[in-house]
Structure 1
Amino acid sequence: MNDKYLRDIILSFMIAGKDTSAASLSWFLYMLFINPLVLEKVVQEIRDVTSSHEKTTDVDGSVESINEEALDQMHYLHAALSETLRLYPSVPVIVMTFFQMARVNKGDNIYYIAYAMGRMTYIWGQDAEEFKPERWLKDGVFQPESPFKFISFHAGPRTCLGKDFAYRQMKIVSIALFHFFRFKMADEMCNVRYKRMLTLHIKGGLHLCAIPRTHI
């Protein structure tokens, strides 16, 4: 291990995590807008965990409140992010090359569609297409699903190395955004659709209006 190796690892994290995290946060914001009760619960959790009722103009104080302990207590936020990734996985189609398996020839490519798997009723139940963060909670505590069921970060030895980093990043950004701003869609009649790419972006982007909060 040397400086070049460490530099390459850092660059890989930055490049691999940039578009995927940005796309996930865009879908997350959109899902909150069309599910106002979920948005209300997310904001309430931010208020309760960070005790940020009156500190919207205190940037330093706000940043200090987003610590490890606070992030670990954001169970509902974590559930809402996971539910977003279930319905809108950052990488909707995965291809893998197999080197040796009993029923697959060496060099064959195998595709699985994470976007479709996240919406299958026989995997997630009859409410599979509903945005329902509560499916991830038990007595208010986040309960992770098997990575072979929740496939957005892959599974087994191919599990995404940046999974925990991505969750931390999305939580921090979400907390900061909802601490200082209220949001609404610039065009509430806009037909939001995905764009066919390697990563699942919103076609044309998600255009928002940010309104400073006087209190959270």
Structure 2
Amino acid sequence: MLSITTFILLGILGLFLYLLVKYPDKSIGTNERPDLVGPRGLPIIGNLIGIYLKGFTNFNYENLTKYGPNATSTSLGFGRLIAINDPECIEYVMKTNFENYIKPNLLKEALNDVLGDEKCGDSNENWRAIYLTQKIFVKLFEEDTKKLLNIMEAKVQSGETFDLQQLFFRFTLDTFLKITFGLDKNSFADPEEPVRFAMAFDSVQATIDGRFLNPFWKFTEIFSEGGRKMRANCKYLSEFAYKIIKKRRNDPKALKNPKDILNIFMNAKLEDGQYLTDKELRDIILNLIIAGRDTTAQTLSWMMYNVMVNPAIEQKMVNEINTLLSNEKPIPKYEDVKQFEFVQATLYETLRLHPSVPGSVKYCLGNDVLPNGTPVNAGELVIMSAWAMGRDERIWGADAKIFDPERFIKDKNGLKPSQYKFVSFNCGPRLCLGQNFATIEFMTLTTSLLRKYQFEIMPGQKSPPDFGNSVTLPMKDPLLVKVYRRN
């Protein structure tokens, strides 16, 4: 007679053979979609290996380039994914039928221990309060810009090579901790000294990115060193936020002064008349710091790289900057910022090719049909790749991969491009509420720096740079430069 062990093994083998036949080129649980095109997957796991080796951004870019404007794939842990790269379809998913496409649970779970439930930060009234007080924050930008200019002057004197991206990260960290919490970390004091807060943030974002490539992350993180580090960093970030919130609650006088974003949200009420809890405040604050600190520093880094390798664009920026700034007025005022048309076009061109958030994903609740006739079934995931859209010749023309800020000035929509074509600030009801805020910070720093200093990229670095593993789009390696005083 066959043993129980043998029966179990035969059962497992039978199940495996059944799954092999049922899912010969796609992941478990996915239906056939002969109406869609995309890369053939492996039995049972689908395209999981390709996604893991290339990362979601490059994987979807390659598929949309080859099969677009729609391309499908499957992956164990995610099911069927439908990447879309058509502005009309983007508008349909993100606006017209917005209620049918929600944030998938797998994304919420991957982000929850870091970002929590950020929905309580969506109140338009809260953001309106931030908008009305942004002139206060612009003065903080000016103060930190002066500090950065002093650091640049020191580096001119020393002639040293340094990592420009890391310096930008320290600048935006200082600025956003001040704006958000009223804190002055003064990480500029010693640019070589590691910043615990920044290190924790960078580490958890790299781990989150890895979760999107590993359907078994909940299990593997229990035992791995990376999982232990993730738990420790999340604990540190939460305690950091809670400590500041508690201190503010115990200081009624400080709480009445709307000098930072924490106060605005602590004094705000929800629709039911209740104040935000400490947990809700913690979630909002950590979301804001990631959104402000990381995306701005990364955009500055990508912009400076493109300026350094395009001297004609740099000269045009400098010519425009010199029409408004001078030794007597080295830093622009709030009302000056929008007058720098070409500098703003350079910002948009940077974001077109190097979007701060390279992609997003939505879960389809009910069977639907996109405007171009593509059916989307309930339970399938829709992927929107800002990285792929910015390089798509069908959207931007034959020169889509060329860095050319003039395209925004010559375009009929100018510096107000369609948010469903230029998706770097997201779109529809989820359009980035901090867009104006980030633009002001970017323009303030960029114009002040380029008026006085010229940067030289050091040889031996990959061009263009690779991007690193993160929720956002940092450069993978340091951006090594030297800085000189402009003649």
Shorter-chain TM-score range: 0.7 to 0.9
- The equivalent position to 1:119 in structure 2, one of 362, 387, 391, is 391
On the 8 A contact 1:20/1:199 being kept in 2, the answer is: yes
Aligned to 1:175: 447
Divergent runs of 4+, >6 A: none
Aligned to 1:161: 433
- 2:379 and 2:291 map into 1 onto residues whose CA distance is 25
Alignment TM-score, normalising by the size of structure 1? 0.83
- 1:206 and 1:142 map into 2 onto residues whose CA distance is 31
On the 8 A contact 1:93/1:112 being kept in 2, the answer is: yes
In structure 2, the CA distance between the partners of 1:98 and 1:163, relative to structure 1 (3 Å rule), is farther
Aligned to 1:209: 482
Aligned-pair Cα RMSD in Å: 2.4
- The equivalent position to 1:191 in structure 2, one of 447, 459, 462, is 462
The answer as to 2:296 corresponding to 1:21 is yes
Q: How many residues align?
A: 203
On the 8 A contact 2:352/2:422 being kept in 1, the answer is: yes
The answer as to 2:361 corresponding to 1:86 is no
Which range moves more in the overlay, 75-84 or 5-14?
5-14
Query: For 1:20-74, what per-residue CA distance to the aligned partner results, in whole angstroms no more than 9, with x for missing partners?
Result: 1111111100101111100000111110122x1xx1xx6xx423xx113321111
Aligned to 1:2: 266
In structure 2, the CA distance between the partners of 1:7 and 1:45, relative to structure 1 (3 Å rule), is farther
AA paired with 2:351?
A: L
Q: More helix per residue: 1 or 2? A: 2
Query: For 1:137-156, what per-residue CA distance to the aligned partner results, in whole angstroms no more than 9, with x for missing partners?
Result: 149x9432101000111111
Q: More strand per residue: 1 or 2? A: 1
1:106, CA displacement in angstroms? 4.7
Which range moves more in the overlay, 156-165 or 91-100?
91-100
Aligned to 2:330: 62
Between Structure 1 and Structure 2, whose CA radius of gyration is higher?
2
- The equivalent position to 1:47 in structure 2, one of 322, 336, 339, is 322
In structure 2, the CA distance between the partners of 1:76 and 1:97, relative to structure 1 (3 Å rule), is same
The 3-state SS of whatever aligns with 1:195 is coil
Which range moves more in the overlay, 103-112 or 23-32?
103-112
Alignment TM-score, normalising by the size of structure 2? 0.39
Aligned to 1:128: 400
Which range moves more in the overlay, 202-211 or 78-87?
202-211
- 1:71 and 1:129 map into 2 onto residues whose CA distance is 28
In structure 2, the CA distance between the partners of 1:154 and 1:211, relative to structure 1 (3 Å rule), is same
In structure 2, the CA distance between the partners of 1:93 and 1:108, relative to structure 1 (3 Å rule), is same
In structure 2, the CA distance between the partners of 1:19 and 1:101, relative to structure 1 (3 Å rule), is farther
1:212, CA displacement in angstroms? 2.6
On the 8 A contact 2:468/2:475 being kept in 1, the answer is: no
Structure 1: 5+ residue runs without aligned partners?
Answer: none
The 3-state SS of whatever aligns with 1:137 is helix
In structure 2, the CA distance between the partners of 1:166 and 1:107, relative to structure 1 (3 Å rule), is farther
On the 8 A contact 1:97/1:108 being kept in 2, the answer is: yes
Structure 2: 5+ residue runs without aligned partners?
Answer: 1-264, 268-274, 369-374
- 2:408 and 2:444 map into 1 onto residues whose CA distance is 20
- The equivalent position to 2:337 in structure 1, one of 65, 71, 90, is 71
On the 8 A contact 1:23/1:200 being kept in 2, the answer is: yes
AA paired with 2:442?
A: M
- The equivalent position to 1:34 in structure 2, one of 286, 292, 309, is 309
- 1:101 and 1:175 map into 2 onto residues whose CA distance is 49
In structure 2, the CA distance between the partners of 1:67 and 1:178, relative to structure 1 (3 Å rule), is same
- 2:367 and 2:407 map into 1 onto residues whose CA distance is 35
1:203, CA displacement in angstroms? 1.8
- 2:288 and 2:354 map into 1 onto residues whose CA distance is 21
Larger relative contact order (CA 8 Å, sep ≥ 6): 1
In structure 2, the CA distance between the partners of 1:146 and 1:119, relative to structure 1 (3 Å rule), is same
In structure 2, the CA distance between the partners of 1:196 and 1:203, relative to structure 1 (3 Å rule), is closer
- 2:296 and 2:456 map into 1 onto residues whose CA distance is 21
The answer as to 2:407 corresponding to 1:143 is no
1:175, CA displacement in angstroms? 1.1
Query: For 1:159-184, what per-residue CA distance to the aligned partner results, in whole angstroms no more than 9, with x for missing partners?
Result: 11111111111111101211232111
On the 8 A contact 2:299/2:356 being kept in 1, the answer is: yes
